[in-house]
Chains A and B, each alone.
Chain A
Amino acid sequence: MVNVFAVPVFFICFRECLETAIIVSILLAFLKQTLGPDRDPIVYKKLVRQVWYGVLAGVFIVAVVVAGMIGAFYGMGRNTFGNTENIWEGVFGLIACIIITLMGAALLRVAKLQDKWRVKLARALATKDEPKASSGGYLKRLMEKYAMFWLPFITVLREGLEAAVFIGGVGLAFPANAFPLPVVCGVLAGVLVGWLIYRGASFGSMQIFLIISTCFLYLVAAGLFSKAVGNFEADKWNRAIGGDAAETGSGPGSYDIRQSVWHVNCCNPELNGGGGWGVFNSLFGWTNSATYGTVISYNLYWLVVIVAFVTMRYRETTGRWPLLRTKNRDEVHRDSESNSTHSEQAKKDIGEKTSANVREIRD
């Protein structure tokens, strides 16, 4: 069995693929539900394609980097990424966390709009040309316009490299022919879960689907944030002990006792593929060795999320930020929308259209 099926490799592929599949399937389901092929097929196709381009671009870059790593390993006989693994995992994790967090809120807000407005908004975003605005606005628009690209891209990049490093870590224990089958099975299992989520989204109300899937995204993001902090701490610890702490397994020495909040000598999500704990880690950020940094960052993340949503709702209902004196509404808008290039005239137009919309809803 072990000779043709390396179980750790299966788990590594499954968990890394699972996280990607969840994000991709939620995005696709969102697009299908909000735009759908029947509402605005052109924009829909365009955005769906963005998702897949993101996945493909991620896969491509992972392939190039992994080829380079293998080349470096056999060419120079050393594990080039080993030393900095924790740093780049932490950085990618942090970026992915920020993107998921922003997109999660955006998806939820968009979902509340009526179909007609969603389509309009999507079309507006997707067709927006190169803006002539200031550089800050430019970057923001680039992010918005290709929003459906960035999240899958960064996710695949992170998960792919992580999988490569993990497999590299356990790989030497297995013969070469023990790899193909578990890799294929792991990826298929991940894709299957993604497909189920996508299909599941077709049933029931879209709002409920989006609420549930956004909760899931935020769980993943909270885990990523905490894990990123853990990665930076692990890097510091590795440097302090002058070696790779993972060599000591999950026992003493694999973690800094001074920072430890809990540590169990089992259930390590990273050792030998992690098994079910690895999946648990991908979805909920489980760790067998929690530190003050990871626990505080996890809780802090949720605190920020809670405060942000409450604040958003407050502003939506009252038209102003909490703790601020009532401002002129136009000023409020200017604060929230960083691109303030439009003219006073345009603002007035919007004001009129707003009242029109309110009526429309009441119809």
Chain B
Amino acid sequence: MAPSIRACLAPVFITSIFANLIHAATVTYDFNITWVQANPDTAFERKVIGINGQWPIPTITVNLGDRLVINVNNQIDQDTSLHFHGLFQKGTTHMDGPDGVTQCPIIPGSSFTYNFTVDQPGTYWYHSHSKGQYPDGLRGPFIVLDPENPFVDQFDEELVLTFSDWYHDQMPKLLADFMSVTNPTGAEPVPNSALMNDTQNLTIPVQPGKTYMFRMINMGAFAAQYVWFEGHTMRIVEVDGVYTEPTEADMIYMTAAQRYSVLVTTKNDTSANFAIVGSMDQDLFDAIPEGLNPNVTSYLLYNESKELPTPAFVDEFDPFDDMTLAPEDGLDLFDNVDYSFNLDLKMDNLGDGANYAFFNDITYVHTKVPTLFTALSSGKDAENVAIYGSNTNSFVLNKNDIVEIVLNNNDPGKHPFHLHGHNFQLVVRSEDEAGAYGNNATGLPRKPMRRDTVLVRPNGHIVLRFKADNPGIWLFHCHIEWHVASGLIATMIEAPRELQETLHVPEDHYAACRAAGVPTEGNAAGNTVDFLDLTGENKSPDLLPAGFTAKGIVALVFSVLAAFLGMAVIAWYGAAPITSGELAASQRRVEESSVVEK
């Protein structure tokens, strides 16, 4: 069944009505978060989280420089929040969205307002940042139109093309199964299907001989997707909100949360239609369920009277390497690093038997006081990293320092890392199995690519640099939603003293905290008197006991004693002389058998 073209493309075609607006405006959205029934892969109807009774949720479209006001009213039975992925939120770190970090949850039945200025162009997306919630549907495109777009003359029309994996089960259940003693290997739930624009087999009418800009977004929970347009070459002009030198690519590997804008010029004849294919990277899946179709197809529809092609089988994926891109603005490599630190990633089990993810042997656990409020309420102690808790992987950054993150992936999986509040330069990325970074890389790119979400390869490493010019609390985490749940998160505390002086958090935020019963003062443990006293803070489960514990020793001693006692009794019995009764019994047996014989 082909979905209705009109219904699916209505929010996708963005005409130039906004382009005339040169002066900054205020764009207001009223978002009621509601449950909606949906069946996007025509295989299973389920409850999804929609907005204003609609799903897919609306695309947020603003012009560069606009003020955006979103009035959220939570009408579902779960806490929620909204994060605007890729936006720097300069001066508005409290609008970034992560529940428990820069704000309190929007509890069921309550309201919350996001209000900030958008001063960066490009392709973004927005999603819930509460407890692995967005894969249940609360994620949508966020487009910032730019009249000054350097490529504005090179395309005729722009379209949004979202990619996503899709689960038939609800996230709360999947998360419970995932973070469980019965999932000791930490095998991530495998999606049931893949979607494009939250549907499948979408047809996109195109005109011959024109150029289209596709704003492609992977809004998935887990799966990266290989993306290609059959019979067409893509010209990459933007990644994650950063304009790039136009670069040709036949196939793109787009991790969860990455975005690419590509120019595609259509053919001059309309004799055939062409497939657009998204193919989930099955390397990520622990076991591939029978009957899983990892692919999703859409079509460039040149001619309605022609049939839709079946995509050709691809033997080997050979995607474009985003390290080779160059930013259009030509920003040089930050070569004087002020602060460099390592994040060593590993996966392991803790004492509750579940599988956790670690940076430097610490798995992230939410604090009692959202980190932003700890920074704001701690006075001079704000620069002491200890107050932010021992399970948050916090790093305090000085204003305008050049910060370098060296991430060593000691795990055989691929991970897409995302930094809030910034984009970063991709300085080094190793191949698979390269091991830890040896600090000896030569030939660093002079004008490295910048983006906000980057792939690190299995057992490889990446080196990222950014300038700490945005005071705020910014998470750095893997954008596989399962790994957010298992704690693969670090916290950047950027210029907290300046934050205390400049940031004004609106009353609305405090109201949300009061409603949720979350304190807004104190250290990670909620201690407002002694910020260095973290007694009672939230901690991860203990490590698995290594070897023998007291109960193990007791059990072993008892077992050995039981065996020796048992053998002593056997020896005693065996050595005891025979009694007359025994003899009689034996004799009787002999007699008895002879009776039978006779």
Query: Could you tell me which A residues sit within 8 Å of B by CB distance?
Result: 104, 108-109, 111-113, 117, 120-121, 123-125, 127-129, 131-132, 207, 210-211, 214-215, 218-219, 222, 240-243, 245, 247-248, 251-254, 256-258, 261-265, 284, 290, 295, 298-299, 302-303, 305-306, 309-310, 312-313, 315-317, 319, 333, 336-337, 342, 346, 349-351, 353-355, 357-358, 361
Contact = CB atoms under 8 A, between A and B. Distances in A.
A309 B544 contact: no
A128 B597 CA distance: 7
A324 to B, nearest CB: 15
- Which of B349, B544, B567 counts the most chain A CB atoms within 10 A? B567
B563 A302 contact: yes
B571 interface: yes
Contacts of B593: 124-125, 127-128
B544 A342 contact: no
B42 interface: no
Given A252-B349, A264-B547, A317 B570 contact: no
Given A215-B567, A306-B566, A358-B580, A248 B185 contact: yes
30 contacts: A111-B574, A121-B586, A127-B597, A207-B575, A210-B574, A211-B574, A214-B570, A241-B185, A243-B287, A248-B185, A253-B349, A256-B181, A256-B353, A257-B353, A258-B353, A261-B551, A262-B548, A262-B549, A299-B559, A316-B578, A316-B581, A316-B582, A317-B581, A342-B592, A350-B588, A350-B591, A353-B584, A354-B580, A357-B584, A358-B583
Nearest to B552: A262
B579 A316 contact: yes
Interface in B184-198: 184-185
Given A222-B566, A262-B556, A354 B574 contact: no
A353 B587 contact: yes
A123 B590 CA distance: 8
B577 interface: yes
B569 A305 contact: yes
A263 B574 contact: no
Contacts of A121: 586, 589-590
Nearest to A295: B555
Nearest to A214: B570
B566 A218 contact: yes
Contacts of B185: 241, 243, 247-248, 253
B585 interface: yes
B37 to A, nearest CB: 30
A358 B349 CA distance: 68
Interface in B157-193: 181-185
Nearest 6 CB-CB pairings of A with B: A253-B184, A262-B552, A252-B349, A354-B584, A257-B353, A302-B562
A252 B353 contact: yes
A257 B351 contact: yes
Contact of A207 (B566, B574, B594): B574
B587 A357 contact: yes
Contacts of B292: none
Given A124-B590, A215-B567, A219-B563, A312 B573 contact: yes
Given A124-B590, A346-B595, A211 B566 contact: no
A334 B586 CA distance: 14
A315 to B, nearest CB: 8
B352 interface: yes
B587 A354 contact: yes
- Which of B181, B547, B570, B596 counts the most chain A CB atoms within 10 A? B570
Nearest to B582: A316
Q: Label chain B's interface by main secondary structure.
A: helix
Contacts, number: 189
B331 interface: no
Interface of B: 181-185, 287, 348-349, 351-353, 355, 544-549, 551-553, 555-556, 558-559, 562-563, 565-567, 569-597
B353 A357 contact: no
Contact of B565 (A127, A306, A312): A306
B591 A346 contact: yes
Given A248-B184, A302-B566, A309-B569, A214 B574 contact: yes
Nearest to A104: B570
Given A121-B590, A256-B181, A342-B592, A113 B566 contact: no
Contacts of A125: 589, 593
B555 A261 contact: yes
B426 to A, nearest CB: 34
A8 to B, nearest CB: 23
Contacts of A333: 585, 588
A299 B554 CA distance: 12
B556 A350 contact: no
B571 A215 contact: yes
A346 B592 contact: yes
B189 to A, nearest CB: 12
Given A113-B583, A252-B348, A350-B588, A129 B182 contact: no
Nearest to B574: A211
A262 B547 contact: yes
A351 B586 CA distance: 12
B591 to A, nearest CB: 6
Contact of A117 (B558, B563, B583): B583
Given A124-B590, A309-B570, A346-B595, 13 more contacts: A124-B593, A128-B596, A211-B570, A215-B567, A241-B183, A248-B185, A253-B185, A253-B355, A257-B181, A265-B547, A299-B559, A313-B573, A357-B587
Contacts of A222: 563, 566
Contact of B567 (A124, A219, A245, A354): A219
B575 A124 contact: no
B562 A303 contact: yes
B183 A357 contact: no
B590 A120 contact: yes
B583 A357 contact: yes
B548 A317 contact: no
A247 B570 CA distance: 40
A101 to B, nearest CB: 11
A298 B349 CA distance: 28
Nearest to B287: A243
Given A253-B349, A256-B353, A257-B352, A131 B580 contact: no
A358 to B, nearest CB: 5
Contacts of B565: 302, 306
A70 B574 CA distance: 46
A337 B349 CA distance: 56
A241 B355 CA distance: 12
A309 B559 CA distance: 19
B562 A263 contact: no
Contacts of B559: 295, 298-299
A333 B581 CA distance: 10
B500 to A, nearest CB: 43
- Which of A262, A265, A333, A355 counts the most chain B CB atoms within 10 A? A262
B573 A252 contact: no
A113 B578 contact: yes
A20 to B, nearest CB: 22
Contacts of B570: 104, 108, 211, 214-215, 218, 305, 309
B449 to A, nearest CB: 38
A358 B583 CA distance: 8
A113 B555 contact: no
Contacts of B592: 124, 342, 346
- Which of A108, A124, A125, A245 counts the most chain B CB atoms within 10 A? A124
Given A218-B566, A241-B182, A252-B184, A309 B586 contact: no
Nearest to B350: A252
Contacts of A128: 593, 596-597
Contacts of B353: 252-253, 256-258
B573 A350 contact: no
Contacts of A312: 573
